[in-house]
């Protein structure tokens, strides 16, 4: 093994200077690459090469950086990556003009010592609500060090071959699995990987810098086969992650202290969530996130299931949803459902399928149903149709009374009651897509004719698709009651709805669109008399051909600018989006 010491030392020195998206630089002579690589940056929009708008390359496309949080340490990293000797200043958006394409980075926070902008902290690739008016720029010191060569891609390949050959390896990693149903039951199965101590020593979790020559780790049967791929990543910084391997790689990265891989794998979870219509993967990811204590992953899973609660409640995974997970979902105001009646029906259906729930658990779940948001007529029918009413009659009577009070008393009177709680979510709407609160447009701007039966039954008559067959009828106005409360049943407010796909759509309406596509939702009722007591937190929902909701945004100054590509919350490969305009009245 000693004969390879010099070679490994040299490789280790090189490895320390390579990042997953960065490149190794040697000051010899200039040899530019034929094409840019992911993570490369450039400056644009200025007359001199040492300043300009910062643009980042990813997935074959140049995009920009939002100036939120943009400061001198960020500029220092940019200038260093471009081989300038230093940074003069970080420049706010608009100075060097507006870019185009994706906005790849937002809320960038660099220490200032990083070798690549992609090594800094940021929201995640393409996660931004900025426009190109906010494109960040830099001014670098004009002097540069331009003589360099870049063979970093060859280094990754060479290190991968070194791992595969096991030549000179001096450290053993044993992945152990027991074949029994319980831990330590059955026969132990072992997968052994031979690696190089010096390469592993960068990650303390391997304990490769000590005098030991081997370590053992207990793995599940599903994760053990992926141990070699994880170790190979340490050499190459490349790893393919799928729905079946994401959880394992995240767990292994956490165990060995691979923070960067753990964070990237966590972000990949978000991209993988829509791939399983059975929701078994989403539920599994959530359970793992709770066990691992990963709050970011936990929220991503909860948000996706909340936005697609209607699909979840009719999926294969519905009966496997735990009481804890269901309670977390029912506590959210971003639950997308046809109406609150549907929430109660879905809960009853879940209880009927999951026989192991206790009475205490059922009451805890029922407490999250927002009875004041159930329409008065359907609220009246609950005691006759609900399958859980007889088992929890006292709780139902309390909740029904609260609901009827909300339909018969002004909110000001309710607030003055001694029993009123300031942060009571029962008076907050969720995102209701049933009539009359929602209008849906397809990609062509045609409205979708919704044919949903409002009649309540214990199985939930709202169940089904988000939309039916589009009708060739363009509707640009919608009338809704001022509020869900029966007090406003005959008091209507009118809305003007527009979906702008082309610049001409905007100009024909006499409006200016900052970007396209754009949606507008404007109250057209004049002299609205409830401004002091009711506000509207309207939402635009983007559905991937009706299969799942992949992005939700609010309207700012009546406009919502539809993101594209990596800027959406969850990926949607189809271009035929469905747009849901949702009215959400709230008491002030």
Q: Are residues 91 and 52 in the same domain?
A: yes
Same domain, 228 and 256: no
CATH number for the domain spanning 203: value is 3.30.710.10
Per the structure, the complete domain to which residue 564 belongs is given by: 432-454+464-587
Least confident of 81-95, 477-491, 517-531: 81-95
Q: Are 309 and 460 in contact (CB under 8 A)?
A: no
Task: Identify the band that residue 23 occupies on the pLDDT scale cut at 50, 70 and 90.
Answer: very low
Which CATH number does the domain housing residue 106 bear? 3.10.250.10
Q: Are residues 490 and 548 in the same domain?
A: yes
Q: What is the CATH number of the domain that holds 323?
A: 1.25.40.420
Confidence of residue 29 (pLDDT cuts 50, 70, 90): very low
Residue that finishes a domain, picked among 116, 140, 164 = 140
81 and 54 fall within a common domain: yes
Residue 97: its H or E element: none
Residue 459 lies in a domain: no
Classify strands 431-432 and 438-441 as parallel, antiparallel or unpaired. unpaired
212 and 225 in a single domain? The answer is yes
Contact 463, 310 (CB under 8 A): yes
Same domain, 292 and 412: no
Domain for residue 228, yes or no?
A: yes
Together in a domain, 392 and 282: no
Q: How far apart are CA 578 and CA 571, in angstroms?
A: 14
With 0-12 CB in 10 A as exposed, 13-18 as middle and 19+ as buried, what is 529?
Answer: exposed
Check residue 389 and give its pLDDT. 95
Same domain, residue pair 570 and 443: yes
Q: Is the pLDDT of residue 30 over 60?
A: no
Asked whether 153 and 141 are in contact (CB, 8 A), the reply is no
329 alpha carbon, distance to own chain's centre: 16
Q: How confident is the model at residue 442 (pLDDT cuts 50, 70, 90)?
A: confident
Pair 272, 332 in one domain: no
Same domain? 100 vs 224: no
Q: Is residue 26 part of a domain?
A: no
- Domain-ending residue, one of 239, 254, 269: 239
- Three-class secondary structure assignment of 486-518: HHHCCCEEEEEEEEECCHHHHHHCCCCCCCCCE
Residue 366 resides in a domain: yes
User: Do the domain assignments include residue 114?
Assistant: yes
Average pLDDT over residues 524-530: 90
Overall average pLDDT of the 121-136 stretch: 86
C-alpha to C-alpha distances, 514 to 498, 509, 562, nearest whole angstrom:
15, 14, 11
pLDDT of 106-120, one tens digit each? 989 898 888 899 889
Least confident of 178-192, 208-222, 358-372, 463-477: 463-477
Decide if 29 is inside a domain: no
Residue 347 has a pLDDT of: 97
**In this structure, what token pair is assigned to residue 581?**
């305009």
Asked whether residue 91 is domain-assigned, the answer is yes
Domain termination residue (choose one: 140, 168, 188): 140
Give per-residue pLDDT as tens, 377-399.
999 999 999 999 999 999 999 99
Chain segment 65-85, per-residue pLDDT in tens: 999 889 899 999 999 999 888
Taking residue 571's Cβ as centre, other Cβ atoms within 10 Å add up to 17
Residues in contact with 93: Cβ distance below 8 Å, sequence separation at least 6, in sequence order = 66, 67, 130, 133, 134, 135, 136, 137
Together in a domain, 410 and 331: yes
The stretches of 313-430 forming alpha helices (DSSP H) are: 323-330, 340-353, 359-366, 376-385, 393-408, 411-415
Q: Are 226 and 251 in contact (CB under 8 A)?
A: no
| Whether pLDDT at 502 is above 50 | yes
- How confident is the model at residue 471, as a pLDDT? 39
Domain count, the chain: 5
- Judge whether residue 12 has pLDDT over 70: no
Residue 447 phi, psi dihedral angles, 5° rounding: -80, 150
For residue 213, being part of any structural domain is answered with yes
- Whether residue 512 sits in one domain with residue 476: yes
Structure tokens at 513: 């669109």
Structure tokens at 11: 């490789």
Average pLDDT, the chain: 85
């Amino acid at each position: 093994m000693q004969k390879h010491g010099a070679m490994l030392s040299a490789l280790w020195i090189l490895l320390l200077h390579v990042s997953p998206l960065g490149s190794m630089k040697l000051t010899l002579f200039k040899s530019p690459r034929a094409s840019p690589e992911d993570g490369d940056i450039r400056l644009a929009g200025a007359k001199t090469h040492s300043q300009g708008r910062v643009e980042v390359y990813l997935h074959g496309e140049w995009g920009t950086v939002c100036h939120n949080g943009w400061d001198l340490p960020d500029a220092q990293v940019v200038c260093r990556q471009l081989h300038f000797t230093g940074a003069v200043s970080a420049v706010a958006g608009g100075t060097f003009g507006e870019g185009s394409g994706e906005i790849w980075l937002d809320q960038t926070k660099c220490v200032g010592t990083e070798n690549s902008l992609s090594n800094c902290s940021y929201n995640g690739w393409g996660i931004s609500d900025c426009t190109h008016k906010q494109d960040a720029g830099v001014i670098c010191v004009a002097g540069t060090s331009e003589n360099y060569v870049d063979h970093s891609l060859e280094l990754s390949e060479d290190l991968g071959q070194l791992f595969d050959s096991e030549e000179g390896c001096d450290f053993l990693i044993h992945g152990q699995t027991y074949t029994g149903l319980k831990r330590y039951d059955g026969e132990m199965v072992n997968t052994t990987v031979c690696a190089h101590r010096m390469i592993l020593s960068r990650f303390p979790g391997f304990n490769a810098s000590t005098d030991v020559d081997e370590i053992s780790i207990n793995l599940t049967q599903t994760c053990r086969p992926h141990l070699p791929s994880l170790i190979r990543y340490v050499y190459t910084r490349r790893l393919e992650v799928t729905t079946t391997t994401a959880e394992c790689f995240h767990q292994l990265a956490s165990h060995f202290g691979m923070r960067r891989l753990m964070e990237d794998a966590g972000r990949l979870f978000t991209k993988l969530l829509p791939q399983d219509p059975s929701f078994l993967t989403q539920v599994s990811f959530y359970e793992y996130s709770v066990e691992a204590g990963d709050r970011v992953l936990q929220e991503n899973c909860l948000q996706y299931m909340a936005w697609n609660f209607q699909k979840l409640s009719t999926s294969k995974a519905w009966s496997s949803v735990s009481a804890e997970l269901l309670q977390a979902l029912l506590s959210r105001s971003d639950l997308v459902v046809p109406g609150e009646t549907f929430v109660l029906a879905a809960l009853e259906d879940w209880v009927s399928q999951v026989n192991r729930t206790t009475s205490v658990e059922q009451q805890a779940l029922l407490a999250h149903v927002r009875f004041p948001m159930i329409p008065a007529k359907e609220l009246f029918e609950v005691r006759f149709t609900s399958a859980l009413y007889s088992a929890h009659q006292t709780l139902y009577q309390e909740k029904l009374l609260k609901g009827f009070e909300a339909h018969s008393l002004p909110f000001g009177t309710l607030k003055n009651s001694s029993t009123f709680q300031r942060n009571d979510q029962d008076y907050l709407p969720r995102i209701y897509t049933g009539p009359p609160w929602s209008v849906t447009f397809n990609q062509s701007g045609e409205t979708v004719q919704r044919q949903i039966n409002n009649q309540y039954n214990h199985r939930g008559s709202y169940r089904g698709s988000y939309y039916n067959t589009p009708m060739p009828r363009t509707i640009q106005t919608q009338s809704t009651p001022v509020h869900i409360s029966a007090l406003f049943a005959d008091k209507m407010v009118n809305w003007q709805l527009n979906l702008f796909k082309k610049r001409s759509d905007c100009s024909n309406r006499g409006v200016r669109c900052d970007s396209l596509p754009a949606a507008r939702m404007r109250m057209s009722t004049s002299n609205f008399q409830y401004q002091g007591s009711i506000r509207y937190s309207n939402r635009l929902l983007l559905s991937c051909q009706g299969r799942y909701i992949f992005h939700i945004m609010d309207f700012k100054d009546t406009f919502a600018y539809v993101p594209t590509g990596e800027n959406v919350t969850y990926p949607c490969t189809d271009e035929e989006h469905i747009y849901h305009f949702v009215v959400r009245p709230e008491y002030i």
